[in-house]
Structure 1
Amino acid sequence: MLKVGLQLFTVREDLERDFEGTIAKIAELGYQGVEFAGFYGRSAEQINELLKKHNLEVVGSHTQYADLVNDAQSLIDYNKAIGNKYIIVPYLSEEQRGNWPEIFANLRKIAEVCNQNGVTLLYHNHDFELTEKIGEHTVLDALYSELPADLIQVELDTAWVQYSGYDAVEYIEKYAGRLPLVHWKDFKRTDEGIQMMELNEGEVDVARIGDAAAKAGVEWIVVEQDNSLQAPMQSIEQSINWVKSYGAKGGLVNV
């Protein structure tokens, strides 16, 4: 059974206004865990107390590439203190991309430090890793070919895979066994590019994604909505309500 978490980037403005109250609401809605994207000045002790109070687990932590290159150890120490075993590189800016051999070498070094400390490094994709190629392979596939599964694992963002023209289910099946986390997202294409949507409101077959993730042995399926047309807290409530209905119809989720 899949555990269902929320990527906190979705409600970043709410967290800025009321960190503790927002976390409480997330738990009340039925999410079982949270994936951090920053800690808003809170100490590890404060994070632990808040998670324990609301019976929430740590899914993982999106941690900036440059910060990991500069000082991986202190970031690892903080994450270990909150019981997090997955540190995830969430994004590479346009300025950081291009020299892929150097990026892969840096990720190898970071992953080795993570492994030495009993945590696991993951990489989270957007679209450019699938639209850019190294030889005959997408950057994403080249990365996972260059670095073995015992060094780096996969957090697959299924919406960006679909948006890039690939089948997210095929990618889930491809990386089964090194895929502990999957981002569960929906979207619509617009004249401007992409508009993220609540689950089952866009063009992604999100039930099919959930089924495939469960079959692949994914540990956490993580709701994320980069942007929304309504208040983010309304969006995450609408999405978790759909998740509950999906589970009621036989979807392999534990909510």
Structure 2
Amino acid sequence: MAKLPIALQLFTLRNETKEDFLGTLKKVKELGYDGVEFAGFGGYEASELKSFLNDLDLKPFSSHVGLELLEDNAEEIIAYHKELGVETIVIPYLVPERRTAKEDYLKLAESLNLYGEKVKEAGMQLCYHNHDFEFEKYDGEYALDLIFSNTNPEFVQVELDTYWAEFAGISAVDYAAKYKGRLPLAHIKDLVTSPEKTFAEVGEGVLDIKAIAAAVEEAGAKRFIVEQDVCQRPALESVEISIRNFKEILGR
């Protein structure tokens, strides 16, 4: 298995970044992560944050940006990400009122094509990130497949959240293979089933992380992104456990 970089989705540390954005980035680097996937920028200018990341040698691989934010101010958002050096902008979520019918997903596909072309023109890539609700079927087709079958692969690619696929009862291994060549990023997360079905540190749950990592790499992923939406422990402790276990699983 190639040594793909491991990033952390900073949503996991949302409370920590709210208190001390730059200090939290330092801790992420100290724990051994190669880069980050942003979920906001703490109010910092792109040039200031870029300089800080360069000094840390922490890479700004990707960034989650709400679709509504792009609709309101695409030019400024794209320019900020380009200046920071982000490779991939990711649409992370579709609000409930925008996913009530098949037509909603077709409208989403139109928007993704539009913004994906703008992002591509700026030298970056747009991706769409799934949860479990995109595995609802419309006319026999998963909503997530509707999105990708109605978007241009050049403009819109896949950030597969392997946890949410498995949560929905879908094999992340099989689904990654379906989008081989169109899947540059994958969220690596784990799941426990008792006392309830919920999030766990990588390697602490029931998912076959080694097989999932191999599958997304085979599909062409360039980055592994660790995330834990909800932590039962202090979040910094959880992300430390995750990278330690994940590196052991990968044989690093």
1:106 equivalent to 2:105? Answer no
SS of structure 2 residue aligned to 1:95: helix
1:153 equivalent to 2:157? Answer yes
1:139 equivalent to 2:143? Answer yes
Cα pair 1:173 1:216 within 8 Å, conserved: yes
1:205 maps to a residue whose letter is D
Equivalent residue number for residue 55 of structure 1? 57
Moved more, 96-105 or 74-83: 96-105
2:39 maps to a residue whose letter is A
1:42 equivalent to 2:47? Answer no
Moved more, 13-22 or 238-247: 238-247
2:85 corresponds, among 83, 86, 101, to 83
Equivalent residue number for residue 117 of structure 1? 122
Deviation at 1:191, TM superposition (A): 6.7
Aligned pairs for 1:1-255 (under 5 A) are 1=2, 2-98=4-100, 99-130=104-135, 132-189=136-193, 194-248=197-251
Can you list the C-alpha shifts for 1:163-202, whole angstroms capped at 9, x where unaligned? 101100011111111111000000123576x421001111
SS of structure 1 residue aligned to 2:187: strand
SS of structure 2 residue aligned to 1:58: strand
SS of structure 1 residue aligned to 2:97: coil
Cα pair 2:106 2:146 within 8 Å, conserved: no
Can you list the C-alpha shifts for 1:69-94, whole angstroms capped at 9, x where unaligned? 22211110000001112110000111
Equivalent residue number for residue 251 of structure 1? none
Length-normalised TM-score, structure 2: 0.94
Length-normalised TM-score, structure 1: 0.93
CA–CA distance in structure 2, aligned partners of residues 102 and 146 of structure 1 = 10
Cα pair 2:26 2:56 within 8 Å, conserved: yes
Deviation at 1:244, TM superposition (A): 2.2
Cα pair 1:187 1:202 within 8 Å, conserved: yes
User: How many matched pairs?
Assistant: 247
2:131 maps to a residue whose letter is H
CA–CA distance in structure 2, aligned partners of residues 31 and 191 of structure 1 = 30
Cα pair 2:106 2:150 within 8 Å, conserved: no
Cα pair 1:58 1:84 within 8 Å, conserved: yes
Cα pair 2:109 2:148 within 8 Å, conserved: no
CA–CA distance in structure 1, aligned partners of residues 241 and 130 of structure 2 = 25
Instruction: Provide the alpha-carbon RMSD of the alignment.
Output: 1.3
Unaligned residue ranges in structure 2 (runs of 5+): none
Cα pair 1:195 1:228 within 8 Å, conserved: no
Moved more, 37-46 or 181-190: 181-190
Equivalent residue number for residue 252 of structure 1? none
1:157 maps to a residue whose letter is D
CA–CA distance in structure 2, aligned partners of residues 179 and 225 of structure 1 = 20
2:207 maps to a residue whose letter is V
Moved over 6 A (4+): none
Moved more, 205-214 or 180-189: 205-214
CA–CA distance in structure 2, aligned partners of residues 65 and 235 of structure 1 = 29
CA–CA distance in structure 2, aligned partners of residues 109 and 70 of structure 1 = 14
